[in-house]
Amino acid sequence: MSELKTKYEVRSHEVQEVMNKPPHFIVNWGNTLIVLIIAAALILMNRIQLQTKEQLLAAFVSRRSQHDSQLLVFSLNITPQHSLQRGNQASVTILGNNAVSAGSLAATIDSLWTAGNATLLSLKVAGSGEDLRLHNNRLLHPSEGMQVSIDVTTAKEKVFVSMFRKLIKR
């Protein structure tokens, strides 16, 4: 039996001695370090907030000027899926020919109401005077019936809440 053992022992006695003693320090602390890195990643990931947005197609109805801003009123083609609250951020994209974006402007929701069969949305746009400027610095002259796409931030939620909500819906 000892002949077989020596016949198949290719490594030296010193190498076998090192291989028979596991490096406990590295194994124990390595596993602990991996667990700590995963826990830190989960904690940091939970601090990230995702914005849920809803895209609404609408038509321009009217415009009113106030002392420091302008109110734009739009008629929505469909009723919103989420509750739109006053102060929610919105981005109004003006649709040109063939539904190509002609530019956009930032706004906040002022109010939402129903008049007859139409749902109307009032957005407050910063800027005084009669001029409305888009993000690309083009001057906008809104006309009644102009088609727009409105991206409204409906909520901000943490990553885990969003993930669990999607898992529960399935």
pLDDT tens-digit readout, 126-158? 876 667 777 777 777 788 888 888 888 887 888
Q: What Cα–Cα distance (Å) separates residue 20 from each residue in 13, 15, 24, 106?
A: 11, 9, 12, 68
User: Which structural domains are found in the chain, ordered by start?
Assistant: 2-47 (no CATH), 50-159 (2.40.30.170)
Mean pLDDT score, 19-32: 77
pLDDT of residue 40: 95
Average per-residue pLDDT for the chain = 80
Pairwise CA distance, residues 124 & 73, whole Å: 9
What is the mean predicted confidence (pLDDT) over 57-68?
85
Among 161, 144, 165, smallest CA distance to 46 is for: 161
pLDDT of residue 35: 92
Please tell me the pTM assigned to this model. 0.63
Segment 85-134, tens digit of pLDDT: 888 888 888 876 655 566 788 888 988 888 888 888 898 888 766 677 77
Q: What is the pLDDT of residue 36?
A: 94
Question: Per residue in 154-170, is it b (16+ CB within 10 Å) or e — as a string?
Answer: bbeeeeeebeeeeeeee
**Residue 7 in this model has a pLDDT that exceeds 60:** no
